[in-house]
């Protein structure tokens, strides 16, 4: 079947009982004139029985209209935002109760992703992205991630297991990972501005503890020329950690581990020999333990 790139106006009204829809290519392209912007969202709003939506959006006007519709947001399982040119994106995330995959890529002017705090009708807190499993941000050179500080008072992203950040040069820290209690894979690559993973600054109002990264299995850090710290000078237990992979992180001089970290789980630490030889350790006993896992 030939790939359908244009949805004719009014076509969706013929599928009023449709329950599953996957639009894995951008739903608008340069072939559309200006009056067509937003029309595709109108078409989707006709699908009152829709339960599963996998959608790719490449126009900011469509995105704004999409995220303002609670019904569409609530049935969305996969959301890809690709190539939007606008400066700021603020997602009202409380409506995305069923979202599993969030992929934002190639938005060269995107400056902000804001995880905002909202309430339901009973004025109770709504958890952020409560079913999200994978988050992937790629080629967003101006992006910073911010949040309402009240979000940091409890855990969110309870099902989030995979986080990928690539080519996001404006991000300096990613302290919001403290809200991700079940993270299994953290992959950060070519983020030139990143200085620390979890900030040691008191302005964030939260601190890491023995449960931080307690489910993390794979930790990948590549091409981070300004990364100096993972979580300050403190060691973490890492009870599930299996692999640490570090490449091209010349300023990272210490791993957050001690003699009690990753007991019986860590299989390998990969990195350049020059980086490994320059690492600082609390004592030689700790170094001797982890050198057994090292691979160049």
Domain range summary for the chain, segments of one domain joined by +: 18-150, 161-296
| Euclidean distance between CA atoms 243 and 267, whole angstroms | 6
Selection from 87, 72, 61, 68 nearest residue 23 by Cα: 72
| Euclidean distance between CA atoms 150 and 273, whole angstroms | 43
Which residues have a Cβ under 8 Å from the Cβ of 62 and sit 6 or more positions away? Answer: 27, 28, 37, 38, 40, 41
| Euclidean distance between CA atoms 189 and 180, whole angstroms | 19
Tell me, what DSSP letter sits at residue 229?
B
Predicted confidence (pLDDT) per residue in 11-23, tens digit: 777 787 899 988 8
| Euclidean distance between CA atoms 11 and 17, whole angstroms | 13
| Euclidean distance between CA atoms 135 and 184, whole angstroms | 12
Give the pLDDT confidence score for residue 127 in this predicted structure. 63
Higher pLDDT, 278 or 125: 278
Residues making up the chain, counted from first to last: 296
| Euclidean distance between CA atoms 195 and 170, whole angstroms | 10
Predicted confidence (pLDDT) per residue in 283-295, tens digit: 999 999 999 999 9
Which residues have a Cβ under 8 Å from the Cβ of 123 and sit 6 or more positions away? Answer: none
Computed over every residue of the chain, the mean pLDDT equals 83
Q: How far is CA 168 from CA 145, 162, 236, in A?
A: 10, 17, 26
| Euclidean distance between CA atoms 154 and 156, whole angstroms | 7
Give the pLDDT confidence score for residue 234 in this predicted structure. 81
Which residues have a Cβ under 8 Å from the Cβ of 84 and sit 6 or more positions away? Answer: 57, 58, 59, 60, 63, 107, 110
| Euclidean distance between CA atoms 274 and 260, whole angstroms | 25
Give the pLDDT confidence score for residue 173 in this predicted structure. 93
Buried b (16+ CB within 10 A) or exposed e, 10-37: eebeeeeebeebebeebbbeeeeeeeee
Predicted confidence (pLDDT) per residue in 197-255, tens digit: 998 765 555 566 778 899 999 999 999 999 999 988 788 899 999 999 999 999 999 99
Predicted confidence (pLDDT) per residue in 155-201, tens digit: 578 899 999 999 999 999 998 888 888 999 999 999 999 999 998 76
């Amino acid at each position: 079947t030939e790939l359908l790139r244009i949805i004719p106006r009014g076509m969706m009204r013929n599928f009023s009982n449709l329950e599953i829809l996957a639009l894995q290519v951008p739903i608008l392209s340069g072939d559309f004139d200006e009056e067509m912007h937003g029309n595709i969202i109108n078409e989707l709003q006709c699908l009152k029985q829709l339960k599963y939506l996998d959608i790719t959006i490449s126009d900011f006007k469509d995105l704004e209209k999409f995220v303002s519709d609670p019904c569409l947001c609530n049935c969305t399982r996969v959301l890809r935002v690709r190539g939007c040119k606008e400066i700021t994106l603020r997602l009202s995330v409380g409506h995305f109760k069923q979202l599993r995959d969030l992929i934002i890529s190639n938005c060269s002017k995107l400056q902000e992703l804001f995880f905002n705090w909202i309430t339901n009708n009973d004025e109770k807190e709504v958890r952020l992205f409560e079913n999200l499993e994978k988050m992937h941000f790629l080629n967003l050179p101006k992006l910073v991630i911010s949040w309402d500080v009240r979000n940091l008072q409890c855990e969110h992203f309870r099902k989030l297991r995979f986080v990928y950040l690539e080519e996001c040069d404006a991000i300096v820290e990613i302290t919001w990972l403290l809200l991700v209690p079940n993270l299994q894979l953290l992959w950060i690559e070519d983020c030139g501005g990143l200085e620390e993973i979890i900030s040691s600054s008191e302005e964030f109002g939260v601190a890491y503890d023995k449960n931080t990264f307690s489910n993390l299995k794979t930790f990948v850090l590549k091409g981070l020329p300004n990364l100096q710290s993972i979580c300050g000078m403190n060691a973490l237990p890492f009870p599930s950690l299996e692999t640490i992979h570090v490449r091209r992180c010349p300023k990272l001089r210490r791993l957050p581990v001690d003699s009690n970290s990753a007991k019986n789980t860590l299989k390998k630490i990969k990195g350049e020999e020059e980086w490994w030889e320059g690492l600082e350790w609390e004592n030689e006993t700790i170094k001797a333990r982890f050198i057994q896992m090292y691979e160049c």
